[in-house]
A and B are shown apart, each in its own frame.
Chain A
Amino acid sequence: MDFMVFQYPMISVQACLDGILLGILFALIAYGMALQWGVMNIINIAQGDLVILGGYIAYFMYLYGIHPAWGVIVSPIIMFFVGIAIYKLVINKVVDRDLFISILATFGISILFMQLMNFAFGADVVLANSDYGTTMLFNSNVVLPNSKIFSAFISILFAICLVIYMKKSKLGRAIRATAQNARAAKILGVDTEKVYAATFGINAALCGVAGALISITFTIHPYMGLPYTIRSFMIVIVAGLGNLPGVAMSGMGLGVFEEFADYILGTEFRIGSVFLLLVLILVYRRFKLSRKREYLK
């Protein structure tokens, strides 16, 4: 354990800012998860692997000499079609079944993606270098890479675009109607099958954006998917479905928590602390609800 973070206040500021910028990215992924969870009632374990796949698309552009920031536009387009393909092949067969079936099926997809990425891109930790430089704050005591600021900005931009799209467009209204009551929407002429496919595609596209940003700001590795799934799951259960400000806030909270865990416990316990936090949050909510004789369901 290392309490340097409390002795030097500037490190705390650094951790907070890092955490908030990171948390905005988590919130973007979690928003995709909340979307598909709310609309299709599916928990997608492969969420994190979609993120990593999106990251590798940006990384590949970087390898071929294109600036990886363009991945923010290319990656969601490719990932949208990947998402639709996954929906058509697997998800549409598990949509109205037991939730555990969908968890297990997406677990299978997750393992499949992990291994295919391992074959295609190798097991090295890679990052796409954006050459954005850094910003110094507070007498150069706090160093923020510009790529992190860029990624947070792009995430917010995409989230706002999506919210407006969901509010205004015809498809967005159909998606919201299906989330409220799939059967009633079907009766009123909404093609729910199409809505489901579009939802999953949009979710994958969001993962693509987040992945491209992660490949610029952090590192990507074929096996790093599961923590992103768990993080987004955690954010969604804390914030609740369809609560975008809540998702943003709890995303940032998680980011700050992780940065502090990193400083205090050490980097080797970072992922472990995320998973433990999930268990603790679930147990806390279980005890809170059990006072009212209710349970998480």
Chain B
Amino acid sequence: MSISKNNLILYFGILTFGIAAPFIFPAFKVQLSILCVLIVLATTWNIQGGEMGYNSFGNILFYGLGMYLCASVQVGMFFPLAEWTESGGEKTFVHTPAQFFQGMAVGLLVAAVVPTIVAGLIGYSILGLRGHYFAICTLGLGVAAGEISGGIEIIGAGQGFTTPPFPDVGSLDSRGEFFYFLSFFVLVLTFIAVRGIYSTRFKLILNAIRDNEDKAEAMGIETMKYKIVGWMISAFFCGLAGGIMGGLVGYIDSTDVAFDGREMGVFMVLMAILGGKGTLWGPIIGATVFHIFKEGFWTFFLGWQYVALGVLIVVIVIYFPEGIMGWLREKYPERFGEVVDEKDRKAQVELK
């Protein structure tokens, strides 16, 4: 991949801003961390939703799985897991700082790897479905995972799972800073990985699958292999994001936090569509706009937020399906490296 000089300045500016952000807006550290997680989710949804054309509602499965795994490993490494969940909110066991960070590191590793393996295992069956069957099937997967994990005793069943509280180190704000930099690191990692993927032949194959899978197969591409790999990449970062989010929220509930197909599962689709499916920057812009809008709405219209969310989904989907990037592309095609014949453009306008 080649990075032009302008882009380098842009990336450097964003990186600097990202590192400085928690010190510029100290009151919004948690919100900024959530924003990072949302961007990761939207960007990775875009890999198979936007580029591959497989619209999944089921990435929430990997997110929730990562969340539960990270927390379980973090607890289970040092204390008996069953007793921890039994005690609920009461803290009978306390992690020392070293234990906490060790647990978190191993937990995140497991949270990233296991969902990837799961995606690989179920990928062959699920990715054979196409179009809306795939969408509904993955929706079913996400909800089923939520309902089933809500019945398993060892991870808290219906009463939820309290993740280990952040240990006493340094100043009062270290928790916010720790989670912010962790999520920002994962965001940077995701961006580099996704940008790397998008500059290879792999992306072209994904696009070929989106545009016409049968023809892609006829051209000699083993579509199933690439579909599974695409989904595994999504799952990897979704699991990581879930693990971080679990620690950030501090409490895991099966249907309201982890496998929240009605909220987070739709959010990631919506953010990618709002920003523009099938673009690198679309999901990032979409997630940022969405998060700002959502938090604003949540604060000022408390109680009506989900009504607003429903209306927002309908409005975006009906009137804005191309997203912000799509709209910009229509308006300034030259900026996207498209050569536009002025005559041709005018002729098209006249046709309408």
Contact = CB atoms under 8 A, between A and B. Distances in A.
Interface residues of B, number: 42
Nearest to B150: A268
Instruction: Name A's interface SS.
Output: helix
A16 to B, nearest CB: 24
A115 B310 contact: yes
B141 A295 contact: no
Instruction: Name B's interface SS.
Output: helix
A89 B148 CA distance: 37
B8 interface: no
Given A297-B130, A297-B131, A114 B317 contact: no
B133 A297 contact: yes
A296 B129 contact: yes
Given A103-B135, A297-B130, A272 B148 contact: yes
Contact of B137 (A43, A94, A271, A278): A278
A268 B254 CA distance: 12
Nearest to B143: A275
Contacts of B151: 266, 268-269, 272
Contacts of A237: 133
Given A111-B309, A269-B148, A283-B125, A105 B130 contact: no
B314 A90 contact: yes
A119 to B, nearest CB: 8
A230 B140 contact: yes
Interface in B201-232: none
A181 B16 CA distance: 58
Interface string A257-297: 00000000010110110011011001100110010000111
B314 A112 contact: yes
A99 B304 CA distance: 29
Contacts of B309: 108, 111, 115
A210 to B, nearest CB: 20
Interface of A: 43, 90, 93-94, 97, 99-101, 103-105, 107-116, 118-119, 226, 230, 233, 237, 266, 268-269, 271-272, 275-276, 278-279, 282-283, 286-287, 290, 295-297
Which 4 residue pairs of A and B lie closest in terms of their CB atoms, listed nearest first? A112-B310, A108-B313, A272-B147, A275-B144
